[in-house]
Amino acid sequence: MPFHLHFGEQDLLRCRFAVSPLWETQAAVRLLARPDGRGYHLPWLRRIQGAAEKIDLRPLWTLMPHGGHNPDFFCPPPQGPGVAFEEEIALVRATPPATAHDDIAATLASTPAGVDSSAGQALLADPARTVRQMADLLEQAWHALIEPEWPRMRALLEADVAYHSRRLAESGFGRLVQELSPRLGWQDATLTIAGMRGDHVRVLGGQGLVLMPSVFCWPDVVSGYEPPWQPAVIYPVRGIGSLWTQATDRTPDALARLLGRVRADVLCVLDEPAGTTALAQRLGLAPSSVSAHLSVLRDAGLLASRRYGHQVLYERTALGIALAGSHPGTP
């Protein structure tokens, strides 16, 4: 059944993009509980397997039903485009017990066994304690599962926001949302999300909408957040196929002989705009070394740079795209 989000004039003025490390953290925890979607993230799963086994994630999984309501207080919509995990988890810890109780009850009601389970009832009986427990587990999951990979993930997510912000300016909101996912439709000032469980209608009432790209929701679209939170639509990020790929896996030898191996790796890894820190982590190089190669490639007309928030993003020019894509074996 589809979800229907009805927009007014003020809602269109208050739509914004955001990136959330907390969202990715809880989505990663959810992925570990289910096999679907794991194929996109096998390199990451192999790297974090040992760390994940040291955390008892079962209390979180109790409140993560497959479909139905999931607790909104786990990851409130980020207040800005560059919010830090520490800011987000502080909001989780500040959740009023009454709000958490209602959220937990709605979640348990989404699964036939949830309401009657002893684990679920224990979480519902002491919502203040549950908030602390969930926040502690999410913080552990962040440090163990996501934080080591966050620079490259953030670069991909921010590149998606930069790309779709340009598309919004070029084509307008109605066309933009249909480009985010084939499950999204726009007609008569109503955003329709196909393939959801249940039939949900919401009038935004001037709150606007948060659009959030996500690594771990791929290929699904997620919509949520009941009042008092601002509604959001979480959609699959662009370029996920290259997220866990090493640069040397796709740098042609001919291009490496022409530019030098490291410089060719830098050019080939830029399928999406990225900053120096994320590239350095992906390539296993010092940021100073990557910065020097980026400068040479930019001066040669193969890359362009622009500022996004507090960092500078680099992307291929038309010449760089032609060069990186003109060799057999390069995607």
CATH code of the domain containing 255: 1.10.10.10
Rounded Cα gap, residues 216 and 24, in angstroms: 6
How does the average pLDDT of the chain come out, rounded? 85
Picking from 236, 258, 289, the residue at the C-terminal end of a domain is 236
Residue (of 74, 46, 79) closest to 149 by Cα position:
46
In a domain, 225, yes or no: yes
Across 10-19, 24-33, 136-145, 232-241, least confident range: 232-241
Whether residues 168 and 264 share a domain: the answer is: no
From 207, 236, 265, the end of a domain falls on 236
pTM score of the predicted model: 0.77
- Cα–Cα distance list, 330 to 159, 208, 240, 246, 271 (Å): 21, 41, 16, 13, 11
Q: Are residues 223 and 288 in the same domain?
A: no
Question: Do 173 and 282 lie in a common domain?
Answer: no
| DSSP sequence for 77-143 | PPSSTT--HHHHHHHHHT--HHHHHHHHHHHHTTSTTTTT-HHHHHHHH-HHHHHHHHHHHHHHHII
What is the per-residue pLDDT across 136-181, written as a single tens digit (0 to 9) for each? 999 999 999 999 989 888 888 888 888 888 889 888 998 999 899 9
Task: Answer whether residue 124 is part of any domain.
Answer: yes
User: Does the residue 269 lie in any domain?
Assistant: yes
- Encode pLDDT of 195-222 as tens digits: 766 667 888 888 899 999 999 988 888 8
Co-location of 276 and 177 in the same domain:
no
Does one domain contain both 72 and 179? Answer: yes
Q: Pick from 89, 56, 103: which is nearest to 227 by CA? A: 103
Asked if residue 214 and residue 70 are part of one domain, the reply reads yes
Task: Give the number of domains in the chain.
Answer: 2
Same domain for 203 and 228, yes or no, is yes
Q: Which residues touch 6 (CB under 8 Å, ≥6 apart)?
A: 189, 190, 201, 202, 203, 204
Residues 211, 271 within the same domain: no
Domain hosting 181: range is 3-236
The answer to which of 86-90, 246-250, 274-278 has the lowest mean pLDDT is: 246-250
Evaluate whether 48 touches 103 at the Cβ level (below 8 Å).
no
